[in-house]
Amino acid sequence: MRPWQRIAATEILEQRRQPAMLFVLVANYLLWLLVFGGTFVALDFVLGDPLGREMLDEQLAGSGVELDAMIRVAVSTYGSLSFTNLPLFVSIFAGNSVLHERNLGTLPFLLLAPLGRRELLVGKLAGAMAIPLGLHLVFVGAGCFLFGRIDLVDDFPLFGGGPAFWVGYLLGAPASTLFVGALGTVISALSRDVRTSMQTTSFLIGLFSLGIGYALVDGLSEGVVFELVFAASGLGLAAFALEIGARAIGRDFA
C-alpha cells in the first residue's frame, strides 16, 4: 500500500467508526427518496384514475399550475438534490481533512514520512471521497431504478437510464466532486483553525455543490457530450487545484 493509500484507508476507517455521521449521510439520501418517491407514487396513483386526474387538473388549473410543468420541476429538484449530496458531503469531509490531523497533533508524524505534499492531499481527498461516492452510487442508482418503474416519470432522462445519465452518474458527478473536494482539501491544509476552514468550505459548497447538482441533472437533456465535457472539466480542475495547493502549502507546513 502506497503512503497516500494508507492515508485514505485510515481516513475511511475513522469515518466508519462514526456511525452517527454515516447515519446522517444515509438519512439525507433516504429522505429525498421517500419524499419524492412518495410524491411520484401518489401522483401516479391519482392520475391512473380518470376521476382523480380530472379533480387534480381542476385544482391545478385553479392555481394556474400546469401538471407537466409541476412534474418536471419535481423531477429536476429531486435529481439536483440527490446529485448535490456527493459534492456537499465530500466538501465537508475534505474541508476538515488535513486540519483534522493538525488538530489531533498527528500532522508532524505524517510529515516525517516519505510523503510528498501532493501525495498527502491526494490521500486525504481519496479518503474524503470514498464513502460519499459509495452512497452516491447506491442511492442515486436506486432512485433511477425505482423511479424508472413509475409510469409518471419513467420517460425522464434521470430515470430512463440513457447514456447521458450513466455518464453523469458514473463520471460527471465523481469528477466534478473531485474538483470541489480538492479545493476543500487544500483549504483544510492551509487553514489553522476549524472556523476559517469551515467558513471557506461553506462558501465553496454554496458556490459549486448546488451548481454541480443542477448542471449535471439539467445537462442530461443536453446529451452525452455535455456530460463528458463536464466530467473532463472536473478532472482537469481537480488536478490543477491539487497542484496549486501542493505548491502553496510549502515546505514548513508543520
Q: Looking at beta carbons only, is 8 or 43 nearer to other proteins?
A: 8
Q: Looking at beta carbons only, is 18 or 202 nearer to other proteins?
A: 18
- C-alpha span between 97 and 118 (Å, rounded): 14
Q: Looking at beta carbons only, is 92 or 158 nearer to other proteins?
A: 92
CB burial string 140-173: b at 16+ within 10 A, e below: beebbeebbeeebbeebbbbeeeebbebbbbbbb
Q: Looking at beta carbons only, is 1 or 51 nearer to other proteins?
A: 1
What angle is formed at CA 154 by the lines to CA 152 and CA 159, rounded to 5 degrees?
130
Residues 67-126 that bind other proteins (CB under 8 A): 104-115
Are 209 and 87 in contact by the 8 Å Cβ rule? The answer is: yes
Site size toward other proteins, by CB under 8 A: 24
Give 96's DSSP letter.
Answer: T
Residues 222-251 that bind other proteins (CB under 8 A): 251
- Using CB under 8 A as the binding rule, whether residue 131 contacts other proteins is answered as no
- Using CB under 8 A as the binding rule, whether residue 252 contacts other proteins is answered as yes
List interacting residues with other proteins (CB under 8 A).
1, 3, 6-7, 10, 13-14, 17-18, 104-115, 251-252, 254
